[in-house]
A and B are shown apart, each in its own frame.
Chain A
Amino acid sequence: MKQLFAHLRWCLAVCLLCCGTASAADFVVIVSAKNPVSTLRADQVAAIFLSQSGRFPGGAEAVPLDLPLGSALRDDFYSTVAARTRALMKAYWTKMVFTGRGQPPRELASSAAVRRLVADNPTMIAYIDKSALDASVKTIQVTP
């Protein structure tokens, strides 16, 4: 059931992405062009961004990057990938930090800054505004 809801939610998000009408901006998940990974499932992405996994499925180290707190794209990303609102994300990280099990990803000021950092670091993974996309990074296809 929960799975079904996740799927529905994902479908909805994908629809939104494709149509590009409702949301202010569409995000894309990116890695360095040197990174061999090209496809990830949403839960795999979420695991990396929620500090639950430090590695790509292939075994390579994965370091996520965040956009600044309060950015719409960030909320959009987490609600899509991890099905968490901003408040839930805050509660999540509060607990993770307090219990010492993890730290939130490093924040960068803008999609461009993120893209630049990702481009140079094959270990990194991030989400950016679709408009900020260029060839220095590779878009990861996120499957449900």
Chain B
Amino acid sequence: MNANKETLRARWLRRGLDTHVSLPLFALLLLVAIWLVTFHEIDTEREHAQEAATDSLQEMLGTYEAQVARSIDGIDQTLRMLKYAVERKGVLGALPELGRQGLLPPGVVFVVSIVDQNGMTVASHPRALSISVADQNYFRFHQEHDSGATFVSPALRDAANSEWHLHFTRRLDDVDGNFAGIVIVETDPAYFTSSYERSRLGERGMLGLVGTDGEVRALRSGDKISFGQRLGTDEGEVNARIGGKYSGMRELHGIALNVLVGLDEKELMAGFERQRREKLWEGAILSAGLLFITALAWLWSWQGARNRARMRLAQETYAAASAASLDAFFVMREVRDADGVITDFRIVDANARAAQMTGSSQQALCSTTLCTLIPEARHNGMLRGLSDVMAAGGMHEQEWQNTLPQLRARWLHQQVVAVQGGIVAIVRDISERKLAEERMLHLAHHDTLTGLPNRSLIADRLEHTISHARRNSGSVLVAFIDLDGFKLVNDGLGHNAGDELLKVVAERMSACLRASDTVGRFGGDEFVLILDEQGSVVDAAPVLERVREAVLQSISVSGQEVQVSCSIGVAVYPNDGGDAGTLLMNADAAMYRAKELGKNNIQFYTREMNASIEEKLVLLEGLRGALDEGQFRLVYQPKVDLHSGRVFGVEALVRWEHPEQGVVGPDRFIPLAEESGMIIALGDWVLRTACAQNRAWQDAGLAPLRISVNVSPRQFEDPQLVERVRRALDDHGLAPEWLELEVTEGVIMRDLQQAVAKMAAVKAMGVSLSIDDFGTGYSSLSALKSFPISTLKIDKSFVRDLGRSSGDEAIASSIIGLAHRLKLRVIAEGVETEQQRSFLRENGCDEMQGYLFSRPLAPEKLAQLLAAPEAKVA
């Protein structure tokens, strides 16, 4: 695949290079060819033109030579004829005779004259003035020479003929052979150049006669006729003189004349030059056209190459992205039937993930269609859905639960994008996400410990059930269940034991329910039952009873058999509330009522129940400002040594002087303070006030007392407890031995190790510790021995029935015995009768407190009590 791609890429690259490079190269070659051909043609043309010029020159030369020769011949003939006529008819008779015979040359062209031996012209035709030509060269020549030839003189003018003429002369002889004169034929020099034609010789051609002496007899160039100048007879010389012209010269036979024909090179080559220019233009235009087309083609191919490169990049990017993607990519092309309806999609591309998802190979995928791969697509709406996307365009997204065996995923998320002529489907396996979501949803709605619905799901279910009941005129029963004594298990046996207990209870509750019922854990040891009743509420009662009894069965946790009960409060829709919140609140109130009524029972909600709750709320409201407004005060209950009867200490007890309700007992507001967290501040205040008071007594001169302060669970757990105690002592200058902290055993058992460490820290300060309410919780007796405590306090519930209940007496005496063995002192609280005191004294109890001796007193009362001497003896 990779190698394949490489070669593909290389091929594309090569092709792009080819077009880019080869096109200009090819154009260059063509250009070179065009110009080679052009120049070659020009050269050929030039040769042709030159050849033609030479040919033309030769031809004209031939023609001209023939014309001149014939004319000269005619002139010569005339001269001979004249001579003959003169010899026959005499000087005067010759011309008339010839005239008569029509043998005289036309007078318009030629002048014929006869000259006697003295040089006088005696006759002429046309008639002319008689003059002497004795001085003329031609006359003297013939006078001196008997050459028998025709003499050609240069152009001359004389009195008889004012125009320039060429003179052709012959000697006349008398019968003795002596010189008898001459005959002359004169003609204009222009006569010999009259065959000059512009069409052949142009404006600067030349036609002329040159004497063998080198003197020009007649020369015409264009319209200009000249004569008399020297030109020479050598062709080279002539050419040089006339300036680079094509010229030819031929000697005439029998007469001392040369004919000269010259052609102007520029004129000769004008046609060629024109052709040459045309050729050059043609070449230039062709080149420009070629360049233009090449440029266009190049631009086109360049753009094409760029587009291809861009496409290639896009494809590669897509391929890389899709190959690396965790999503499956399917690129599909539509398949339409004759009516244009989409019948299938052909898969044209798919990535590795797609192959993995379909359990097929990429090659196999790319050669199949959607309906071949998934035949169900025709019927389950998949094909229709994809067709709709094609029709609507854009991007469509959906999640669906897969039921197709071909796709290896339970949940799928698909994005379908319509593209030209097809679609791209991006499919993601979201099974894990869905699973996690489900898990999270379950977690959000269920309690992790028991697996029961949690608070939020209960609320949902309740709402749902209520709305269902509303429609069906049914009723809903909401039961609020709180375990009695769970706190003991939790505190005494640890959280794990508590958790185990909760699990068992939850299972038992679930087992009691009908299919339509719901049980959920509301938090802590609170459970909620929702019972959907079609008919009357009465049907639900057995269920509740079953639940109560099921909870009551003993449970084995952490190897110990424990028994808890539950208090159940019930509220019923629609009687006790129209919504979930109200029903739950009212059920809660009913449950509190059940608790108040001694636990392990079921209470149905009544309107009065809300009153106690409201009272609680009012108290809580007041509690918030009570500390700041100084509504708390401490009272002190003396502790008495049972043996000596002396008051050796006091227990500080807090009282709330409510502005409206009067004095509120700690049993009403301490739990509220504990719940709301105000106990920390309140406890600190108590501690400091007690310390201050004790110091005040000492300062007042009373005998030193040990003052006991109760520490609530929350206070004890406060990490700053030790620090707070130290500060209270320091701030009020109280020696630590005069302070004792009372802690309930439940507090200690929650976290034994930490509790022991904390107690040790307190003890190290010199402060005493005692265990309050001993016997009511689950104390680990083995742990008790390691506690750094000095005193155990027997709970007043045991003290109350001393002398009446042998069981309580046994417990009391056991505690006393146990404490003494552990070298601890024992104090009994709530001692109210002489009977109780005597039992305690008999059984060796060390100390006591209670109404029998004194109720809790205000500080000044206590000071009076101590100051009185009778206080020493009980």
Closest CB-CB distance, A84 to chain B, in whole Å?
Answer: 12
Contact B194 A99 (CB under 8 A): yes
9 other contacts beyond A91-B194, A98-B191, A98-B192, with CB at 8 A cut-off? A69-B107, A69-B126, A93-B108, A94-B191, A97-B71, A98-B109, A99-B67, A100-B67, A106-B102
Given the complex of chains A and B, what is the CA–CA distance between A89 and B108 in angstroms? 8
Contact A98 B194 (CB under 8 A): yes
Contact B67 A70 (CB under 8 A): no
Which B97-155 residues have a C-beta within 8 angstroms of A? Answer: 102, 106-109, 126
Given the complex of chains A and B, what is the CA–CA distance between A128 and B191 in angstroms? 29
Contact A104 B106 (CB under 8 A): yes
* Chain B residues within 8 Å of A90, by CB: 108-109, 188
Contact B195 A93 (CB under 8 A): no
Contact B109 A97 (CB under 8 A): yes
Q: Is A34 an interface residue (CB 8 A)?
A: no
Closest CB-CB distance, B187 to chain A, in whole Å?
Answer: 8
Contact B190 A100 (CB under 8 A): no
Given the complex of chains A and B, what is the CA–CA distance between A97 and B71 in angstroms? 8
Q: Is B70 an interface residue (CB 8 A)?
A: yes
Q: Is A103 an interface residue (CB 8 A)?
A: yes
What 5 pairs across the A-B complex have the smallest Cβ distances?
A: A95-B194, A104-B106, A93-B108, A98-B194, A94-B194
Q: Is A107 an interface residue (CB 8 A)?
A: yes
* Chain A residues within 8 Å of B187, by CB: 94
12 inter-chain pairs at a CB distance below 8 angstroms, sorted by A residue, are A90-B108, A93-B106, A93-B109, A95-B194, A95-B195, A98-B191, A98-B192, A98-B194, A100-B70, A103-B106, A104-B108, A107-B107
* Chain A residues within 8 Å of B71, by CB: 97-98
Q: Is A68 an interface residue (CB 8 A)?
A: yes
Contact among A94, A98, A104, A107 for B67, CB-based, below 8 A = A98
For A104, the closest partner residue in chain B by CB is: B106
Contact A68 B70 (CB under 8 A): no
Question: Which residues of B come within 8 Å of A, CB atoms?
Answer: 67, 70-71, 102, 106-109, 126, 187-188, 190-192, 194-195
Given the complex of chains A and B, what is the CA–CA distance between A93 and B365 in angstroms? 107
Given the complex of chains A and B, what is the CA–CA distance between A48 and B150 in angstroms? 35
Do A94 and B188 contact each other (CB < 8 Å), given the known contacts A70-B126, A100-B70? yes
Contact B106 A98 (CB under 8 A): no
* Chain B residues within 8 Å of A98, by CB: 67, 71, 109, 191-192, 194-195
Closest CB-CB distance, B160 to chain A, in whole Å?
Answer: 14
Contact A97 B126 (CB under 8 A): no
Q: How many A-B residue pairs have CB under 8 A?
A: 46
For B193, the closest partner residue in chain A by CB is: A98
Closest CB-CB distance, A22 to chain B, in whole Å?
Answer: 25
Closest CB-CB distance, A71 to chain B, in whole Å?
Answer: 11
Contact among B108, B188, B192 for A69, CB-based, below 8 A = B108
Question: Which residues of A come within 8 Å of B, CB atoms?
Answer: 68-70, 89-91, 93-95, 97-100, 103-104, 106-107
Closest CB-CB distance, B424 to chain A, in whole Å?
Answer: 85
The residue in B67, B194, B195 that gathers the most chain A C-beta atoms within 10 A of its C-beta is: B194
The residue in A91, A94, A106, A107 that gathers the most chain B C-beta atoms within 10 A of its C-beta is: A94
* Chain A residues within 8 Å of B70, by CB: 100
Given the complex of chains A and B, what is the CA–CA distance between A106 and B103 in angstroms? 10
For B104, the closest partner residue in chain A by CB is: A107
Given the complex of chains A and B, what is the CA–CA distance between A103 and B109 in angstroms? 10
The residue in A93, A95, A97, A98 that gathers the most chain B C-beta atoms within 10 A of its C-beta is: A98
Contact B109 A94 (CB under 8 A): yes
* Chain A residues within 8 Å of B188, by CB: 90, 94
Closest CB-CB distance, B108 to chain A, in whole Å?
Answer: 5
* Chain B residues within 8 Å of A97, by CB: 71, 106, 109, 191
Closest CB-CB distance, A98 to chain B, in whole Å?
Answer: 5
Closest CB-CB distance, B212 to chain A, in whole Å?
Answer: 21
Closest CB-CB distance, B78 to chain A, in whole Å?
Answer: 12
* Chain B residues within 8 Å of A95, by CB: 194-195
Contact among B126, B192, B194, B195 for A68, CB-based, below 8 A = B126
* Chain A residues within 8 Å of B109, by CB: 90, 93-94, 97-98, 104
Contact among A94, A99, A103 for B190, CB-based, below 8 A = A94
Given the complex of chains A and B, what is the CA–CA distance between A89 and B751 in angstroms? 158
Given the complex of chains A and B, what is the CA–CA distance between A89 and B190 in angstroms? 14
For B163, the closest partner residue in chain A by CB is: A90
Given the complex of chains A and B, what is the CA–CA distance between A100 and B67 in angstroms? 8
* Chain A residues within 8 Å of B67, by CB: 98-100
* Chain B residues within 8 Å of A94, by CB: 108-109, 187-188, 190-191, 194
Given the complex of chains A and B, what is the CA–CA distance between A68 and B109 in angstroms? 13
Closest CB-CB distance, A66 to chain B, in whole Å?
Answer: 9
Contact B106 A91 (CB under 8 A): no
The residue in B108, B126, B191, B194 that gathers the most chain A C-beta atoms within 10 A of its C-beta is: B108
For B191, the closest partner residue in chain A by CB is: A94
Given the complex of chains A and B, what is the CA–CA distance between A104 and B109 in angstroms? 9
* Chain A residues within 8 Å of B126, by CB: 68-70
Given the complex of chains A and B, what is the CA–CA distance between A70 and B108 in angstroms? 9
Contact B195 A99 (CB under 8 A): yes
For B126, the closest partner residue in chain A by CB is: A69
Closest CB-CB distance, B715 to chain A, in whole Å?
Answer: 142
Closest CB-CB distance, A95 to chain B, in whole Å?
Answer: 4
Closest CB-CB distance, B308 to chain A, in whole Å?
Answer: 71
Given the complex of chains A and B, what is the CA–CA distance between A106 and B106 in angstroms? 8
Closest CB-CB distance, A61 to chain B, in whole Å?
Answer: 17
For B192, the closest partner residue in chain A by CB is: A98
Given the complex of chains A and B, what is the CA–CA distance between A100 and B191 in angstroms? 12
* Chain B residues within 8 Å of A91, by CB: 190, 194
For B110, the closest partner residue in chain A by CB is: A97
* Chain B residues within 8 Å of A100, by CB: 67, 70
* Chain A residues within 8 Å of B191, by CB: 94, 97-98
* Chain A residues within 8 Å of B190, by CB: 91, 94
For A103, the closest partner residue in chain B by CB is: B106
Given the complex of chains A and B, what is the CA–CA distance between A12 and B106 in angstroms? 31
For A98, the closest partner residue in chain B by CB is: B194
* Chain B residues within 8 Å of A68, by CB: 107, 126
* Chain B residues within 8 Å of A93, by CB: 106, 108-109
Closest CB-CB distance, B239 to chain A, in whole Å?
Answer: 25
* Chain B residues within 8 Å of A106, by CB: 102
For B196, the closest partner residue in chain A by CB is: A95
Closest CB-CB distance, B162 to chain A, in whole Å?
Answer: 14
Closest CB-CB distance, A49 to chain B, in whole Å?
Answer: 12
Closest CB-CB distance, A69 to chain B, in whole Å?
Answer: 5
For A107, the closest partner residue in chain B by CB is: B107
Closest CB-CB distance, B198 to chain A, in whole Å?
Answer: 13
* Chain B residues within 8 Å of A69, by CB: 107-108, 126
For A106, the closest partner residue in chain B by CB is: B102
Given the complex of chains A and B, what is the CA–CA distance between A94 and B108 in angstroms? 8
Given the complex of chains A and B, what is the CA–CA distance between A41 and B195 in angstroms? 29
Given the complex of chains A and B, what is the CA–CA distance between A69 and B191 in angstroms? 17
Given the complex of chains A and B, what is the CA–CA distance between A69 and B110 in angstroms? 12
For A70, the closest partner residue in chain B by CB is: B126
Closest CB-CB distance, A68 to chain B, in whole Å?
Answer: 7
Given the complex of chains A and B, what is the CA–CA distance between A132 and B782 in angstroms? 192
Given the complex of chains A and B, what is the CA–CA distance between A93 and B190 in angstroms? 12
Closest CB-CB distance, A79 to chain B, in whole Å?
Answer: 15
Given the complex of chains A and B, what is the CA–CA distance between A103 and B106 in angstroms? 7
Given the complex of chains A and B, what is the CA–CA distance between A95 and B192 in angstroms? 8
For A74, the closest partner residue in chain B by CB is: B108
Closest CB-CB distance, A52 to chain B, in whole Å?
Answer: 16
Given the complex of chains A and B, what is the CA–CA distance between A99 and B60 in angstroms? 13
For A99, the closest partner residue in chain B by CB is: B195
Closest CB-CB distance, B96 to chain A, in whole Å?
Answer: 11
